[in-house]
A and B are shown apart, each in its own frame.
Chain A
């Protein structure tokens, strides 16, 4: 069965600092990996996804993530955080082909200090 672990429940960074949110997955084959962001009272917005190819994936809002098969990781990064990035971030995995069921991690809440 597929699973996702986000080790950090809550992270606080200062505005302008760099950010890395960790995600580890478990899946028997090559996974499809996603990062979503959820702001208070908002739905889920897709930041980026990895299906295949280049292991460094660029997303929206200046985010990027790197797929590392050897470490079963898909960490999300941003070089300089903005106050508007404060939100909950979810890593998710699904199988390939027509299996569109997503398994989500428990999320990481990001607080940005001015």
Chain B
């Protein structure tokens, strides 16, 4: 299995600011994803974090708003930029291990005032 450390676990931010969420895995993984779960909603895929190259974004999500980095096979960050109250959500990191198992981090609960 993979142990995923996602930080911060929660934060309260002011509108117009940015927050960077970190996802650290205890082993090398082949794929990393970022999901968003808006209040009372299901999980929606934001993007696939590609190691050493630009992330691949899903429809409705753009790099300027959600820049993603993945400098190596165990670490990725998601930044929520220029936040508004509509960005209040749980953000989850997900990884696929080398033996093709998928795991989720415990999530970052973000509240924007």
A107 CB contacts on chain B under 8 angstroms: 42
Contact B106 A43 (CB under 8 A): yes
Specify the main secondary structure of chain B where it touches its partner. strand
Contact A102 B43 (CB under 8 A): yes
Number of A positions contacting B (CB below 8 A): 15
B92 CB contacts on chain A under 8 angstroms: 43-44
Contact A100 B43 (CB under 8 A): no
B66 within 8 A of A: no
Q: Which of B41-59 contact A (CB under 8 A)?
A: 41-45, 48
Q: Contact partner of B43 among A42, A46, A90, CB < 8 A?
A: A90
CA of A36 to CA of B96 in the docked complex: distance in angstroms? 16
A106 CB contacts on chain B under 8 angstroms: 41-42
CB distance from A111 to the nearest CB of B (A): 15
Q: Which of A26-57 contact B (CB under 8 A)?
A: 36, 41-44, 46
CB distance from B73 to the nearest CB of A (A): 15
Say which size band chain B's interface belongs to.
10 to 19
CA of A58 to CA of B43 in the docked complex: distance in angstroms? 24
CB distance from B90 to the nearest CB of A (A): 9
Q: A43-B106, A43-B107, A44-B104 are in contact. Are A102 and B45 (CB under 8 A)?
A: yes
Q: Tell me the A residues contacting B by CB distance below 8 Å.
A: 36, 41-44, 46, 90, 100-107
Inter-chain pairs besides A36-B104, A43-B104, 7 sampled, C-beta below 8 Å: A41-B109, A43-B107, A44-B92, A90-B42, A102-B102, A104-B42, A104-B44
